[in-house]
Chains A and B, each alone.
Chain A
Amino acid sequence: MKKRKIKNYLKIVILLFSVLLISRACSTEEYLTENSNIKYQTVSSNEAINFISSSKSKSVFNKTENSLNLNVDIKSLKLKKIKNSNLLMPIFQATTKNLNIKSEVFLIKINDTIHEFLLNRIPKKGSNTAKFSGVISITNLNGYFINGYRIENGVFVSQFVRNRSLNSKLLQKTQTDPEIGCDESLDPYSEFCNQSLGEVVITSSSSQTNDTSSLNIISDISWDYSTITDTSSGGGETSSSDTVEVFPCDDPLHGCRDIEPDVTFTETLSQEEVETDEYNPLFFVNCTSFEYYNPPGSLLTAAAVDNMAETFYAMDLTGNIIETDVYYNRVYFTMPSWIRNGQAANLTAEAVTFANNATQVWYTLNPSASKETVSIIWRNNMNSAMTLKGGQFSTVAPFPMRNAGDYQTSLLSSGNCD
């Protein structure tokens, strides 16, 4: 009788212990899931193979077949564990016509929808460092750029960012769509696709998002899901970082749309500040050069500028000074119509100042450049600087324009045209 009682007690204790263990296991799982705030879902191997074999993916491959020659090895499927999470990431080996670029297809699932990406490793020419040096880019299967980083000996040093305005709906529409036939953009340096990429040195201030947790990639091409060094930072990290976010702008489909909105070339000052500030940063190019005009119904506002002229200098190896004068009789600057004309003039003055200085720096390194090359570099820099501001530079009028401003430089004040 006593023996049976002890047996029953023992059974109850074992039962309670089992319940405790199960409940603890469940709560740990819940804790992991809830606490890490993971927005991605695991893609099973069956789902991955079905997805890659699906008609949707096949249509992508067919589209790129003749140019990118993307070939995914379905048998190579590996489910890689993402550190600090319960997620498994399906990864397929892939080949393209770019034999020097190592590509892999990886899948992520958000809100029950699977998205596919290419991770491309482009080694630096002649590099024989122990750790990877070169560029990694993340593109869609058409090779359309989403995100990219430069790595020097295992350290992420800069991020590639598409140059366009966050706020310009018009520009987003026209530039979000991949260029037709543009399949060669796995390498951010490829100029074939005219991707207008800028390269931003990674610093703690180049944050892109306030997310405290994210899907990260480590320079040895492993993955984790965690908070990276500085919780206030996103794509950019400290210059010694070996971990960066895969999708720093929280937009896996399009990537970062612009350099930080607060990255301005110069501050815009009020008229009062312009008059009293001894060191007006808008010194070199005056905003009154840019008389913006927005015709009714147009999505653009534009300024025609006459007599645009700059002189750039360089010193050759023998110590001689070379000066190159570039003069354009009339050029055009455009901005989205939602920007006030005065604001557009201020932004354009900043952009042109920036382009002038960038051209000057380039010329000092290239003193043997012909005058034609200097002219091309200046125009390219104006185009890039305007793109950063959400606008464009052109030698062709966007619409008929009667009036033009005269290019004003070397004034003590650029004024404030807004």
Chain B
Amino acid sequence: MKTLFILILSTLNMTNTNFEILLGKNISEASFMGVVINIGNNNIYTISNPNVQFQGKPIDQIGIATDEDKAIQRIIIFFPKPIDSSFYKIISDKYGHNYDVMVIDDVLYEESSSVEIIDDSFKKTLKQKTMSLKKGSIEDKNVKNIIWNKDNFMIMQYFDYSKNRIDVHFINK
């Protein structure tokens, strides 16, 4: 019944799906957005080509992470093409202009790349880097994320420069 209610609301207001209302709900409540698939027998679910949008932007995939009780803890929205970095303005119009712009402060830890030769042909190289962030402004060069801290949830717009894309996270507190 709840799902039907959300579905009706979403249909009426396709461009303004309120993802935050799903936080803390059972994963079954997310099924109105499309076919929910779990591929790894863990608490990670994905919806491809969802029938909802975020602030007028089409979505390529939605990733959902749940806790052990299948309550939704985080929703990540992946967009099908690079969206303008000014997208934060659209989010601000809906979630308020009280946000923190976080920029890279320092590299705290960088593990030297390790190369393993599994056999004669397969090699893998792995690197891990931890960076601290500090508050900055949207005009700064190394903006990593923008955070809207709400009472019961948090929204993070993450700038993934490696893929030239922006992901939006809804995080349950």
Contacts and interface: CB of A to CB of B under 8 A. Distances in A.
A329 B162 contact: no
B70 interface: yes
7 contacts: A152-B26, A324-B127, A328-B123, A355-B39, A357-B63, A358-B46, A385-B39
B30 A201 contact: yes
**9 A-B pairs with least C-beta separation:** A361-B63, A311-B162, A201-B36, A371-B126, A199-B38, A384-B39, A203-B31, A325-B127, A327-B125
A298 interface: no
A198 B3 contact: no
B86 interface: no
Contacts of B104: 321
Q: Which of A278, A321, A410 lies at the interface centre, i.e. has the most chain B CB atoms within 10 A of its CB?
A: A321
A321 B144 contact: yes
Contacts of A328: 122-124
Interface in A309-346: 310-311, 313, 315-316, 319-331
Contacts of A259: 35, 37
Interface string B137-164: 0000000110000000000101010111
B127 to A, nearest CB: 4
Given A319-B133, A327-B124, A357-B76, 12 more contacts: A152-B26, A239-B29, A263-B37, A280-B81, A281-B80, A284-B60, A324-B127, A326-B124, A326-B126, A328-B124, A358-B39, A361-B74
Interface string A259-297: 110011111000000000011110110000000000000
A157 to B, nearest CB: 5
Given A205-B35, A319-B133, A354-B48, A327 B122 contact: no
Nearest to B158: A313
B46 A201 contact: no
Contacts of A263: 35, 37
Given A203-B31, A279-B81, A284-B163, A371 B121 contact: no
Interface string A200-213: 11110110000000
Contacts, number: 200
Contacts of B37: 198, 200, 259, 263, 388
Contact of A381 (B35, B40, B164): B40
A397 interface: yes
Given A328-B122, A328-B124, A358-B46, A320 B3 contact: no
Contact of B163 (A311, A354, A397): A311
A327 B36 contact: no
B14 to A, nearest CB: 15
B104 to A, nearest CB: 8
A265 B31 CA distance: 15
A322 B73 contact: no
Given A157-B28, A201-B27, A284-B163, A375 B48 contact: no
Contacts of B121: 329-330, 397
A321 B169 contact: no
B80 A283 contact: yes
B1 interface: yes
Contacts of A202: 28, 31
A361 B3 contact: no
Contacts of B130: 316, 320-322
A361 B163 contact: no
A219 interface: no
Interface residues of A, number: 76
Nearest to B105: A320
A interface: dominant SS? mixed
Nearest to A280: B80
A375 B158 contact: no
Interface of A: 152, 157-158, 163, 188-189, 191, 197-203, 205-206, 239-240, 259-260, 263-267, 278-281, 283-284, 310-311, 313, 315-316, 319-331, 353-355, 357-358, 360-362, 364-365, 370-372, 374-375, 377, 380-381, 384-385, 388, 395-397, 409-410, 412
A283 B48 CA distance: 13
A163 B37 CA distance: 11
B55 interface: no
A75 B63 CA distance: 50
Interface string B58-94: 1011011100001001101010110000000000000
Contacts of B98: none
Contact of B160 (A239, A313, A374, A375): A313
A329 B111 contact: no
Contacts of A361: 44, 46, 63-65, 74, 76
Contacts of A326: 124-126
A202 B113 CA distance: 43
B29 A279 contact: no
B35 A203 contact: yes
A381 B39 contact: yes
A188 B145 CA distance: 39
Contacts of B81: 278-280, 283, 412
A338 to B, nearest CB: 24
A378 B35 CA distance: 22
Contacts of A197: 41
Contacts of B122: 328-331, 395-396
A158 B39 CA distance: 13
Contacts of A280: 80-81
Contact of A206 (B35, B63, B119, B133): B35
